Amino acid sequence: MPANLDWDDIIHGVARDVKSHLGKGEVAQYIPALANADPHSFALVLTTLDGKAHGAGDLDLPFSAQSISKLFMLTLALEAWGGDLWKRVGREPSGSAFNSIAQLEYEEGIPRNPFINAGALVVTDAVISASSDEGALAGMLGLVRRASGSSRVRIDPDVAESEKLWGHRNKSLAHFMKSFHIIENDVDEVLDTYFCQCALETTARELSRAGLFLAADGRDPVSGKRFTEVGRSTRINALMMMCGHYDMSGDFAYRVGLPGKSGVGGGILCIIPGVGSLCAFSPALNRSGNSLVGTRALELFARRAGMNVFRR
Ligand code: GLN
């Protein structure tokens, strides 16, 4: 790690500089449980390999992780299935919206990647098939709790209920894939698990800590616990870079240059291999459903800290 960087100084500077942008963009409206989020809330936190958190803003404000949960479910699916997972889901950028159905028909029910909703449904299905009594959802929650070191992390029942009530698009994606025999388990079980996983509630501090194993070749650098093999953590990072921001993944790579995964709750988890794990949060979104100010904050941070995987 560069010895001369003052993380706290950089992060506080970024937080100051994005303040005037807070409120731009639009808070997710597709479920009432998210529509009430305060567009002025903001957090930016870096957990370095020594486990220390450097942050500014609402670090301990719980928010809905939404699609960031896909990262943890994918980790479990790769543990269970290894390379066989790629028989059922691709690993190419989709270039279309996170909940798009159009591409699925041309490609015979095989989603482009594990981070669009269709792909995440397949990943969840794969984890259900491989789960013992504990179940896929408990498996994912357990992973996030262990990786974050926080037992406070939970599934928000109101958000889960709202996802279920308003999840018509996801229901159609799942049924469509079932018609191609891509989904193995009962569609309602897969959907229920998916709706609950989207309702994962964490704080920026917890998420940033939970991502640390991906910055350290799959092993928690503080406890030494291995969460995944090095060959998998590198590939999860590659997928985040190529697909983590849906049809704005290219723009994110161009502006930030770090693997990242966004969620419509306004969180973005970014990995700086060998350095740390970074979480930005602000609920107002850009047109692709990624945090507008969160992206701006990460862009400023990456530039000021010189943290960009394309730079030496
Ligand atoms: N719950 C959202 C959905 O399924 C998750 C999407 C996201 O965070 N991009 O549509």
Q: Which amino acid is at 168?
A: H
Mean pLDDT in residue range 48-77: 98
In this predicted structure, what is the pLDDT of residue 116?
A: 96
Question: Which atom of ligand 1 sits closest to the CA of residue 31?
Answer: 1
φ, ψ for residue 267 (rounded to 5)?
-90, 150
Residue 165 is predicted with a pLDDT of 94
pLDDT at 300 over 90: yes
Which residue is closest in CA terms to ligand 1's atom 6?
A: 67
Which of 63, 99, 162 to mutate for ligand 1's pocket (most ligand atoms within 8 Å of CB)?
Answer: 99
Q: Ligand 1: residues whose CB is within 6 Å?
A: 66-67, 98-99, 117, 163, 170, 198, 263-264, 289
Rounded mean pLDDT, 184-194: 98
| pLDDT per residue as tens digits for the range 79-91 | 999 999 999 999 9
pLDDT higher than threshold 80 for residue 274: yes
User: Cα(112)–Cα(216) distance, rounded to whole angstroms?
Assistant: 27
Q: Report which of residues 133 and 15 the model is more confident about.
A: 15
Report d(CA 305, CA 6) in Å as an integer. Answer: 9
Per-residue pLDDT band at 167 (split at 50, 70, 90):
very high
| Ligand 1 closest atom vs CA 263 | 8
- The pLDDT assigned to 3 comes to 56
For the chain, the maximum distance between any two Cα atoms, rounded to a whole number of angstroms, is 56
Q: Whole-model pTM?
A: 0.97
Q: Provide the token pair at 212.
A: 């640390």
Share of the chain above pLDDT 90, in %: 93
Arithmetic mean of pLDDT, 296-309:
97
Q: Cα(99) to centroid of ligand 1, in Å? A: 8
What is the per-residue DSSP string for the chain?
--TT--HHHHHHHHHHHHGGGTT-SEE--SSHHHHTS-TT--EEEEEETTS-EEEEE-TT--EE-GGGHHHHHHHHHHHHHGGGGGGTS--S---S-TT--HHHHHTTT--S-TTSHHHHHHHHHHHHHH--TT-HHHHHHHHHHHHHT-S--EE-HHHHHHHHHT-HHHHHHHHHHHHTT---S-HHHHHHHHHHHHTEEE-HHHHHHHTHHHHTTTB-TTT--B-S-HHHHHHHHHHHHHHTTGGGHHHHHHHT-S-EEE-TTSEEEEEETTTEEEEEE-SEE-TTSSBHHHHHHHHHHHHHHT--TT--
Instruction: Specify the pairing of strand 154-155 against strand 43-48.
Output: unpaired
Q: What is the mean pLDDT of residues 147-154?
A: 98
Tell me the CA–centroid distance for residue 120 and ligand 1, in Å.
10
- CA dist., res. 218 & res. 10, Å (int): 27
Centroid of ligand 1 to alpha carbon of 226 (angstroms): 28
Mean pLDDT of 28-51: 94
**pLDDT tens digits, 216-272:** 999 999 999 999 999 999 999 999 999 999 999 999 999 999 999 999 999 999 999
pLDDT band at 2 (very low <50, low <70, confident <90, very high): low
Q: Which pair of structure tokens corresponds to residue 174? A: 């799942």
Pocket test for ligand 1, best of 26, 64, 66 (most atoms within 8 A of CB): 66
Here the tokens at position 47 are: 């957990």
- pLDDT value for 312: 85
CA of residue 263 to ligand 1 center, whole Å? 7
Cα of 264 vs centre of ligand 1, distance in Å, is: 6
* Residues 6+ positions from 72 with CB-CB distance below 8 Å: 140, 143, 144, 147, 200, 210
Ligand 1 center–CA 61 separation, angstroms: 20
Cα 1 to middle of ligand 1, angstroms: 34
CB-facing half-sphere around the CA of 91: CA atoms within 13 A: 14
Beta strand 276-281 with 284-285: parallel, antiparallel or unpaired? unpaired
User: The tokens of 286 are what?
Assistant: 């850009």
- For ligand 1, atom 10: residue with the closest CA: 99
- What mean pLDDT value characterizes the chain? 96
Where does residue 154 fall: left (phi above 0), alpha (psi -120 to 50 degrees), or beta otherwise?
beta
Report the percent of the chain where pLDDT is more than 70: 99
254 CA to centre of ligand 1 in angstroms: 23
For 26-30, 171-175, 294-298, which range has the lowest pLDDT when averaged over its residues?
A: 26-30
**Test site for ligand 1: of 31, 34, 98, 286, most ligand atoms within 8 A of the Cβ:** 98
Minimum-distance ligand 1 atom for the alpha carbon of 30: 10
**Protein residue with its CA nearest to atom 3 in ligand 1:** 117
- Tell me the backbone φ, ψ of residue 43, rounded to 5 degrees: -150, 150
pLDDT in tens, 111-122: 999 999 999 999
Which tokens belong to 278? Answer: 């970074």
The amino acid present at 84, given as its one-letter code, is D
